[in-house]
Structure 1
Amino acid sequence: MPELAEKILLFTDSVIRRMTRISEEYHAVNLSQGFPDFSPPQEILDRLSEVAQKGPHQYGLTWGAENFRKALSEYHYCFTKQRIDPEKEIVVTCGSTEAMMAAVMTVTNPGDKVIVFSPFYENYGADTILSGADPIYVPLYPPLFDFNYEELEKAFKKRPKALILCNPSNPCGKVFTKEELEYIAFLAKKYDTFVITDEVYEHIVYKPYVHTYFSTLPGMYERTLTCGSLSKTYSITGWRLGYIIAPPAIINGAKQIHDFLTVAAPSPLQEAAIVGLKFGKSYYDDLLSMYTHKRTIMMDGLDTLGISHTNPQGAYYILLDISEYGFDNDLEFCELLARDIGVGAVPGSSFFKEPVYNLIRLHFAKNDETLYEALNRLEKMKKIIKKRK
């Protein structure tokens, strides 16, 4: 038998999705994979019921239904004040997962280099490798997860084709400051580099932090591929609706890549989601208020239990420090946590290029009752896991 492709040896399966399977096996509260256990907005569900009867149910236009792209264009303008041509500057994808993959494939050739901040969402390294490019990892330093300006320019001096920017960041919840983003923009122009942004948590930014859309910085729209998603904003992670926004020359290439990756995003779900894209400002204010409340539940609960943790500036993830337990293998710790405590988490090492084994990631996109139950179970963590160890 011939050998399989060498590139599959360069990364594992998704550790996040693996931990969901382990959580289900042990009936643990799943705070590993970041999806809600509450319903999407009722208006979207009502519209979905109508679409289920009336359609569309067949293939849609490859790069997105016309009315969906128009609604997405208006939505984008509301928050960025950028006028986007829905015909030439948007391609609708099967979730932001495909958007990121298509974006990387659109701008890189085999052998090109791509800068990735570490910690990073696990797909970024895999996307780069699958595209035939080589990742250059630049560390973000806790507790605020800032980057070193000299280290970043050193990476740019290797002449990367692109930089991937997740803002707000998964898994550490960092919200990049405008000053940091302007420095990235300066280097992108200086070294002629594309910037691929993942902004799926754009509306989950906790006060006093402020989200800056990278493409709105002077001279950046021309070299930015903005990847977005409806998953987190409307609590529809299973609908797989994402998009890329970029100048026409880039979108033309992205359309070709997307066409042969997935053909088209689900047409009935695009139709149903349009109502969400037309929500007013109050919806997004309420969304932030809800997640601010859930963040407070999680942080206060962990403080009461004496469990050290990060203070997320955005998104809905929190990192716990497990140094005191003496584990060299954080995956082993997470498996014990699911089995013996009944809480699902993700080992931090799956997000870091550096050898980091003292952090695990939890998320708080859950009903309050679910979060309180998880905290009640975590109360036993120190006694039981130290005993098992």
Structure 2
Amino acid sequence: MPRTSAKADAFTESVIRETFRLAARHGAINLGQGFPDFPCPPELKEAACAAITADDNQYPMTYGTPELRAAIAEKTARTYPGWTIDPETELCVTCGATEALVAVTFALLDPGDEVVLFEPWYENYRPDAILAGAVPRPVRMREPDWSFDEAELRAAFGPRTKAVFLCHPNNPTGKVYRAEELALLAELCRRWDAVLVVDSIYEHIHQLGPGGYLPPALVPGMEDRTITVNALSKTYAVTGWRVGWTVAPPGLTAAIRKVHDFLTIAAPAPLQTAGVTAMGMPPEYYTALAAAYRERRDLLCDALERIGFDLRRPEGSYYVLCDTAGLDPAADGVAFARRLITEIGVSCVPAVSFWRPENAEHGRSKLRFAFPKRRETLLAAIERLENLTG
């Protein structure tokens, strides 16, 4: 059989998607994969259907329709005063945040370049770096508040550092980076001429209140060295639409647009039209979104703590990272997650996949539960999980 590439051999299949298939096979309630099981706003469905009916079904402009790019720029300026985006030169619409991250990686990195990654990480970042031929430089985040050591972070930077990947708010830990942490990153990026790549897909899902979330692009000195990745998926409950975008300085955007063109050509035309409607949602929508996720978070976390899981309530995103040591003498998250699926009927993700193999002991006993679900879904899952203490 022909050999596959060394790059492809350097990482495994997505554990999240593997868990999804296993849950479907056993009829488990899916608290593993991070997709809502409730409908998106009706205005978005109506806009998408209207666009399809109007025959908006052919290739759009490869890097995004002018209407959607303008709407993203306007919504950003409304949400974050002082953040001005030129939709003609600083935006690229992509097929979801996942493709955006790949396009950014290929546009930015050459073989041998180094990329600083915070561990535990969302599982896509390390494979993206490897596919570009870059060298990951992990910086460990430490419990209970998932802080990082300043000396370790400084040591991770050097002459070959080209980029830092930051998930903010963070998946899987739920951490929202503080202003002083972002200022340190800004100092190091400027010193070593590195670019900060920010996965901000959970920007509206946090519990810090108005003004509590600081986009790194607004940190002094980072205006020209930040690439922000976002998408419709999480904020508007349309993870299957695959409409994302990047915001970056013109020179970086030009490179991202070229790579994106040869990766996927363009994001779906009618869904870009619906995206314009999404960008026009009123401020009250985002306030209600955060409040609804706080209720879901507290419902699930209360139950998990009562059952015996050890956890820290997330400040942002819609996941909770739990330790199973109090319930599982073997402290084997992979086996415990499989047991939850096959015997209890609830799926989650074994968190070991968010750590590098040589550092896996830090995630070995941990699971990640997702709570973007209807209240009745969470209650049904909780009822099943309570059988662990039966």
The match for 1:188 is: 189
Q: Is the 8 A contact 2:307 2:388 kept in 1?
A: no
CA distance in structure 1 between the aligned counterparts of 2:306 and 2:112, rounded to whole angstroms: 50
CA distance in structure 2 between the aligned counterparts of 1:345 and 1:200, rounded to whole angstroms: 21
The match for 1:340 is: 343
2:35 is paired with a residue whose SS is coil
CA distance in structure 2 between the aligned counterparts of 1:364 and 1:158, rounded to whole angstroms: 41
CA distance in structure 2 between the aligned counterparts of 1:296 and 1:329, rounded to whole angstroms: 26
The match for 1:309 is: 311
The match for 2:42 is: 42
1:260 and 2:262 correspond: yes
1:261 is paired with a residue whose SS is helix
1:351 and 2:358 correspond: no
Q: Is the 8 A contact 2:227 2:247 kept in 1?
A: yes
Letter in 2 for 1:213: P
Q: How does 1:111-122 map to 2 (within 5 A)?
A: 111-122=112-123
Shift of 1:184: 0.5
The match for 2:79 is: 79
- TM-score, length of structure 1 as denominator length: 0.96
**Aligned pair count?**
383
Letter in 2 for 1:55: D
The match for 1:178 is: 179
Moved more, 1-10 or 368-377: 1-10
CA deviations on 1:332-379 (whole Å, 9 max, x unpaired) are 221111000001010110011222201000010000000011111111
CA distance in structure 1 between the aligned counterparts of 2:39 and 2:3, rounded to whole angstroms: 45
The match for 2:215 is: 213
CA deviations on 1:231-289 (whole Å, 9 max, x unpaired) are 00000000001001001111000010000000000001001121110111111001111
CA distance in structure 1 between the aligned counterparts of 2:351 and 2:156, rounded to whole angstroms: 23
2:320 is paired with a residue whose SS is strand
CA distance in structure 2 between the aligned counterparts of 1:79 and 1:136, rounded to whole angstroms: 33
1:136 and 2:137 correspond: yes
2:309 is paired with a residue whose SS is coil
Q: Which runs of 5+ in 2 are unaligned?
A: none
Q: Is the 8 A contact 2:159 2:192 kept in 1?
A: no
The match for 2:227 is: 225
The match for 1:160 is: 161
Letter in 2 for 1:104: T
CA distance in structure 1 between the aligned counterparts of 2:200 and 2:88, rounded to whole angstroms: 22
CA deviations on 1:136-161 (whole Å, 9 max, x unpaired) are 11000011100000000000136311
CA distance in structure 1 between the aligned counterparts of 2:389 and 2:157, rounded to whole angstroms: 43
Shift of 1:329: 3.8
1:221 is paired with a residue whose SS is coil
Letter in 2 for 1:70: A
The match for 2:3 is: 3
CA distance in structure 2 between the aligned counterparts of 1:2 and 1:49, rounded to whole angstroms: 45
Q: Is the 8 A contact 1:174 1:314 kept in 2?
A: yes
Q: Is the 8 A contact 2:162 2:194 kept in 1?
A: yes
Shift of 1:319: 1.2
Shift of 1:47: 1.3
CA distance in structure 1 between the aligned counterparts of 2:387 and 2:310, rounded to whole angstroms: 15
CA distance in structure 2 between the aligned counterparts of 1:361 and 1:133, rounded to whole angstroms: 28
1:362 is paired with a residue whose SS is strand
Letter in 2 for 1:334: A
The match for 1:89 is: 90
The match for 1:198 is: 199
CA distance in structure 2 between the aligned counterparts of 1:177 and 1:207, rounded to whole angstroms: 11
1:196 is paired with a residue whose SS is strand
* Deviant stretches of 4+, over 6 Å: none
The match for 2:300 is: 298
Pick from 267, 283, 286: which aligns with 2:285?
A: 283
1:366 and 2:373 correspond: yes
1:238 is paired with a residue whose SS is coil
CA distance in structure 2 between the aligned counterparts of 1:109 and 1:326, rounded to whole angstroms: 45
CA distance in structure 1 between the aligned counterparts of 2:220 and 2:229, rounded to whole angstroms: 19
Q: Is the 8 A contact 2:325 2:331 kept in 1?
A: no
1:381 and 2:388 correspond: yes
Letter in 2 for 1:50: A
Letter in 1 for 2:98: T
Shift of 1:79: 1.9
1:53 and 2:60 correspond: no
Pick from 319, 330, 333: which aligns with 1:330?
A: 333
CA distance in structure 1 between the aligned counterparts of 2:111 and 2:6, rounded to whole angstroms: 14
Shift of 1:302: 1.8
CA distance in structure 2 between the aligned counterparts of 1:328 and 1:278, rounded to whole angstroms: 47
The match for 1:66 is: 66
CA deviations on 1:78-111 (whole Å, 9 max, x unpaired) are 1223121111000000000011111111111011
2:94 is paired with a residue whose SS is strand
Q: How does 1:245-256 map to 2 (within 5 A)?
A: 245-256=247-258
1:222 is paired with a residue whose SS is coil
Identity of aligned residues (%): 39
Q: Is the 8 A contact 1:104 1:196 kept in 2?
A: no
Q: Is the 8 A contact 1:113 1:161 kept in 2?
A: yes
1:61 is paired with a residue whose SS is coil
2:314 is paired with a residue whose SS is coil
Shift of 1:328: 5.4
CA distance in structure 1 between the aligned counterparts of 2:302 and 2:389, rounded to whole angstroms: 17
CA distance in structure 1 between the aligned counterparts of 2:121 and 2:168, rounded to whole angstroms: 11
CA distance in structure 2 between the aligned counterparts of 1:226 and 1:189, rounded to whole angstroms: 17
